Each structure stands twice: as C-alpha cells, then as structure tokens.
Structure 1
C-alpha cells in the first residue's frame, strides 16, 4: 500500500478531501483512499493495488464508516476482477474485514452478483470485470444521492420537532463526507441546518478511544465553517443538565429489524441521557444500513478492537514501527493492563426518537415501521411516512 502526500487545503472553509476514488493509472487500476488514521495532522493517500491492501485499510480504519465501507467493498470486488484475481476469494475476505457494519457485505455482494451475472450471460473476464466496476460506481452514486435526501429529511424533522430554530446539536463519532459517497449521514443533516443559518452550535464528542470526533468531525466542521465545540465524551451529561443540547444526531453501522441501532461505542449512553432530559435522539442512516436479517439488538455482532487502543494514546501522524501491528503510542495505563474495547454499542428502539433515511423518517421506531421501510426500499416506490 503506497502513501502519497498531498497538501492540506488552506483556509477553514476549504472542502473536505475525498474519501475514496477509483483510478486507472498506466500500471493498472487502483482504489485510492484518504488515510483517515492520519487526520487531521496530514492528508495522505493510500493506493491499494490489491484486495489484501484494501482489507488491511478497512481493518486499520484508514477507510471507515458504514456507507463508505459498502462502496469500498464493491470497488474491492471490481479491483480483484479487473486485475484477474479470484473474485469469490476477494469477496469473502472483504465481507469479513469488519463484522458490525452491514453495508460492507452489502456492497461486496452487489458487485460480486454483477460479476457473476455477466459470467453467466457469457461475458469474458474483461466484460465481467467491467460489470462489477459499473455496479460499484452505481452504488457510489446512489449513496451520494441518498446523502442529499437524508439531509433534507433530517432538516425537515428538526424543523418539526424544534420549531424555535437555532439548534444546538450533539453528535458522536464521525458521520460526514469521510464516511460517504456524498456529504454523509448525520453530519449531512447538520451541514444542511448550518447552510440554512439554523445551527447555533455543534457539540462534538471526542469519541474515545480513537478520537473520530476530535480528529474527523472537527476536521469537517472547521472546513464547513460551523460553530462547533469539542468535548470529552464524559462531559456530555453536564451539557444536558445545563440545558445546552436541543437534539442528538448520530449515524449507524447496523439497524436491526426491531429498530435497534448499533453505532460507535458511547452512543447508547447519549440515548439514555437524551431520554432523561427529553431531548430528541435521531439516527440518520441509508436504508442499506438496515438489516432485516438481524432480528434485534442482541443478534448484532459487536466488533471487539485491540486493547492497545485503550491503554495507549496513538498520535494520528505516528508511523508504525517495523514489524509492529499498530502505530507507536503513548502508554496511559500500566504495562499488562487488560482493556475492554468494543467498537460499538447498541441502542434499543424505545430510546430512538426517529430514524432518518433517504426514503423518509421512521417514527416511532417499531418493528412494523422498519419492515415497511424495507418493503418500500425493495420496491423502490415512494417515501416512508413518519
């Protein structure tokens, strides 16, 4: 996996850099990623020439976020096909690179299905590979369109729930352009509110242990010119108690059939705080994040991350030592300390005010509402009514 340095955009209003793209240089097609582990210190491109490189980028969180993982998975299948590798082996490796985000497997399956359909129709390897790439590009475009629609639905919902305007929104982890083919999920809603002049303050949870809030959401908020403030995760309760939060708006990595929501660890405590303080708790995610085959929250597999992410603080620009599995970090716990490090937690549907998708809003969040959303998504007809 090659690194290519590029200059960071100048000025706070500069747009966020791309998250992923497909390129075809003379030496062969590649998937190019913005290495999110190096932000905000520097913008570095990772050039993935094969699927193992892409799988490692997914596992290391160089590329992350449910919708973008689906896009990455689809392009990974196309990469294997175009370069003449075993497509089924590549699809299997990609689909299991991270277990919780349902979009990853979805994107892999779509591109692989397009490839195999072309083969069954008599296509040669080149045309079958082109079919996989076309499907990946279609998914990429669909996600960008879904992002725009979610932003509109989310802004309308906030206007309905909080007609006084001037929103003070709390978010957790990162859910913007760095996780999407467009402007994101939850942060796309915040950006729409900001453009409308209705964002009074964006509260950004730091999101321990890997600081996706302080490193990535603040990175995007600064470039969008938002009024934002960073806080430690355990300071959120003080904000609620002081009446400084009007709504919590977060993304999701998987939504079960009953409406349970898996998102970055720390989301569930926010839902509990929001319920106690009578603050709307809103989840924004495309319908591809809804998994009707996962019946409830208990059935969601929660990824367990390495303990060193908790016991060490890893600087975003620190390179990995030769032969090491992770970048060098600063120990903040005694040597040998065991760490509990789930990547996600699960919020039950009764704590979720609404789920915003590109097909509309599900509120209240019930199994029936999720089933109707899935039916409409499969048929492609209409919008889900709130």
Structure 2
C-alpha cells in the first residue's frame, strides 16, 4: 500500500543473517513497541502460544520462517537428509500443537515439508536456501492475498458506513494489511470515511489493545466499545456491516473465530445487518465437513480472572471456562471473502468449485 502509515509496524520478518525470526510482541501493545527475536523451536512455540504473535495468517508466516530457522540451526542430529527430515517433522509437530484451531499454522508447516521433500537430493545449503525462498513466498503471498481481500471486501461496502469488528484481524494479524480490516484500509485510501466500532474482545482484549491501536495509528475513525455493547450500537443504527476474520472455515461454510463472534452473528441477523467473514483461501479446510469437527482451543483460567487486572477479579477456586474460539454457523454468514473472490451460500457448492472437488 502506498504511503502505508503502518509500514514500520511489521508483525513478523526473517533476519536471515542472524538466522532468527523477528516478531512484534503483541502482548506489549499498545503501550510499548517491542520486537522479540526467536531462535529455537521453544522460542517459537512460546511466542505463538502466549500470543506474542497471533492471527492465523501471521502465525502461518511465523511457522514457515521458524521451520527454516530451526533446520538451519540444527546440529549434528540433522546431518544428512534423513536427519534433517526427522528434525523438521519433530519441530513441525511441536509447533502445530501450540494453537490447534488456526489452520494456517498446520498448512504452512505442511507446505514447508513438501518443499523439503522436493529438494531431498540437493546439498544441505541449497536445500536450506529453497526452504528460505518458500517461507518468503508464503509471506509475500499472504500480503498479496490480504490486499485482494481488501479490494473484494470494499466492493460490498458504501462510503460513510458504520462497521463493527471483533478481535483483531488487521495488519497485526497478517504479514500486512490484514483480512477483516483490509477493506477498511482500502476504503481509507479511497476516502470512504468509514466509522469503525471495535469490540474490546474479552478476555485478551485484542480489540482494545490491537485493533484500536492500529486503526488509530492509521488515521481511521475508530470507537472502542465493550463486547456487551454491540446490541445497543446496532439497535441505534450505527452499524451497517459486521466484518470479522476467521481461523478455520469448514467445507460447509461454518467459521471458527475468536470467541464472541457467533454472538455478533446472531445479533446481526436480528437487526438485519450483513455479517461478513474475511480470510485467506488457506483458511478454508476442505477436509473438515462442518464446524462440529473444528477443535476449539481452551486456554488458562488466569486469562479471565487475572490478566490485565491490577489485582485478581474473581474468587479463588471458582471454575472458569475459557474457550479461545467459537463457531459461527454458515446460515448466519452473509458472505465469505477471500483473495479468490466472494463466496455466497451455498458455501459447499462454491468451495467445491474453487477447490475442484
């Protein structure tokens, strides 16, 4: 994007000279802009699990870079192709276990493995170079996909609309530009003058800490609301469309995203507001027939009871249920926007055409 106000706010990059993955630590935002260097599989697992890097596309790019870095740094146990492949598969399985819901993480590791298998006859250094190129290609393709998602998404919107979004599916969740926020940035460039309402997104506050941060930094008119204010804002006619990202989309169009998304879809249907899901084609999992088959990650209770508070805000010993995602049924989704185009119901037929099934 020309004159991108977020160009210096890079989510993830490769420092090839140092053999390190460099990420913007999103747990420190918005008060601090801190970059962290990842060298080992343990570093990368921790960064993904602790949400220092988050958002399905950004996690996928981090994993691609991470597989290259880990193989490059591997010692004698990775001598010879068989040893390197064993190291690769052990590392890949470990990283994929960090966030099981986001399909991009597994897809990136599998794509890197296909690259390794294609290059098995090459000398080690040339094989590693091919891995580096593949990881960079994953990053570049993600950025290009986000721009196309923005263009397709913008075609569904009108100047001056009020938009509501949940969690963070913007620049900070991808290589750049984002998915659900991509039409907002495309509209900013075209002078659409959107008014954006950002859900705070409990319990990790990605909307408050990240979406509000990046939209304000980019010069977008953004208003932060608590999650439980969405119905009131919709009822007063301030929202004309809901834009959300996705971590996995089933073959029938059911979409997993940050917990709270499905509730917004129910509200949008009640108030007659279009509900759009935006994400890269790689997020569609054609091996998953419906949302019932999507594994929902459950996270530590401390994220609900203690994180972001100066002191604990729940009685000790109380039971806590903390799912990271929920699944929005396909019948509540107006359209699914990818870099391939706009899918409308019936989603299974559209996806089958896209994927040649």
Q: What TM-score does the superposition give when structure 2 sets the normalisation length?
A: 0.93
Matched, 1:348 2:349: no
Q: Which residue of 2 aligns with 1:301?
A: 295
Does the 8 Å contact 1:16/1:220 carry over to 2?
no
Does the 8 Å contact 1:16/1:177 carry over to 2?
no
Q: Distance in 1 between matches of 2:8 and 2:270?
A: 35
* Aligned partner of 1:276 among 264, 270, 286: 270
Matched, 1:267 2:264: no
Matched, 1:35 2:25: yes
Does the 8 Å contact 2:184/2:194 carry over to 1?
no
Does the 8 Å contact 1:111/1:133 carry over to 2?
no
Give the match's secondary structure for 2:194. strand
Give the match's secondary structure for 1:303. coil
Q: Distance in 2 between matches of 1:49 and 1:94?
A: 13
Q: Which residue of 2 aligns with 1:366?
A: 347
Shift of 1:16: 5.7
Q: Which residue of 1 aligns with 2:338?
A: 357
Q: Which residue of 2 aligns with 1:74?
A: 64
Distance 1:365 1:234, change over 3 A: farther
Can you give the 5+ residue segments of structure 1 that lack an aligned partner in the other structure?
1-12, 160-164, 316-328, 377-386
Q: Which residue of 1 aligns with 2:83?
A: none
Deviations 1:253-305 (A, max 9, x none): 00000000000001000000000110000011010000001110100001001
Farther-moved stretch of structure 1 (84-93 vs 354-363) = 84-93
Q: Distance in 2 between matches of 1:247 and 1:37?
A: 29
Mapping 1:58-137, distance limit 5 Å: 58-84=48-74, 86-119=87-120, 122-137=121-136
Deviations 1:148-180 (A, max 9, x none): 101000001224xxxxx3110000000111111
* Aligned partner of 1:331 among 301, 304, 312: 312
Shift of 1:198: 1.8
Distance 1:14 1:150, change over 3 A: closer
Mapping 1:196-235, distance limit 5 Å: 196-235=190-229
Does the 8 Å contact 2:198/2:222 carry over to 1?
yes
Q: Distance in 2 between matches of 1:342 and 1:198?
A: 36
Q: Which residue of 2 aligns with 1:153?
A: 152
Does the 8 Å contact 1:185/1:286 carry over to 2?
yes
Give the match's secondary structure for 1:269. helix
Farther-moved stretch of structure 1 (110-119 vs 300-309) = 110-119
Can you give the 5+ residue segments of structure 2 that lack an aligned partner in the other structure?
79-86
Q: Distance in 2 between matches of 1:302 and 1:370?
A: 23
Q: Which residue of 2 aligns with 1:9?
A: none
Give the match's secondary structure for 1:186. coil
* Aligned partner of 1:20 among 12, 28, 42: 12
Give the match's secondary structure for 2:157. helix
Deviations 1:73-106 (A, max 9, x none): 1111111121125111111111221100000000
Does the 8 Å contact 2:22/2:38 carry over to 1?
yes
CA RMSD in angstroms comes to: 1.4
Q: Distance in 2 between matches of 1:357 and 1:282?
A: 11
Shift of 1:24: 2.9
Does the 8 Å contact 2:171/2:178 carry over to 1?
yes
Q: What TM-score does the superposition give when structure 1 sets the normalisation length?
A: 0.86
